[in-house]
Amino acid sequence: MKNLFVVAVAVLLFLGAGQAVVAQSSSVQGKVISATPDMLVIQSASGERMTFTVNQQTSMPPAPTLTNGTWVTVEYSGQIESGSQATRVTTSSAPSASEQGGEQGSQLPGTASPLPLLLLIGSGSLGGYSVLRMRARLSR
């Protein structure tokens, strides 16, 4: 019974850590291509076109401010490939030449996945349980 409790706690900690890692948000700066009440499309400084979902919880500047060509910074949650929810949109100035790509390698792309960390946490939990289980059997 005690071992079952330990396993249940380890699983809950594992799931909680996974949700905390996945719930991160990111931001990107770009030029507005189109803005509707439920969608915002921008072109990033690197030329990539990105589409964001907008809803009532999204903090945005007034509608007349978001015209085509306006530079904005979009804070979002989720992966760009699978659709992102914009959480905050603010107007910004156009990036300088060094921010647009003049300095190669100064910033790494945000493509890392949290899955290796989840695998490490899960493996550590299972390994710890195995060690405790073996020590309990040897002490009998």
What is the SS3 assignment for 88?
strand
User: Which among 27, 39, 25 has a CA at the least distance from the CA of 95?
Assistant: 27
Residue 71: count other Cβ atoms within 10 Å of its Cβ. 16
At 77-127, the pLDDT tens digits run 876 655 688 888 888 887 765 555 544 445 556 677 778 888 889 899 999
User: Which residue is associated with the tokens 């979002």?
Assistant: 76
pTM: 0.51
Mean pLDDT, range 29-48, rounded to an integer? 87
Which domains, from first to last, does the chain contain? 25-99 (2.40.50.320)
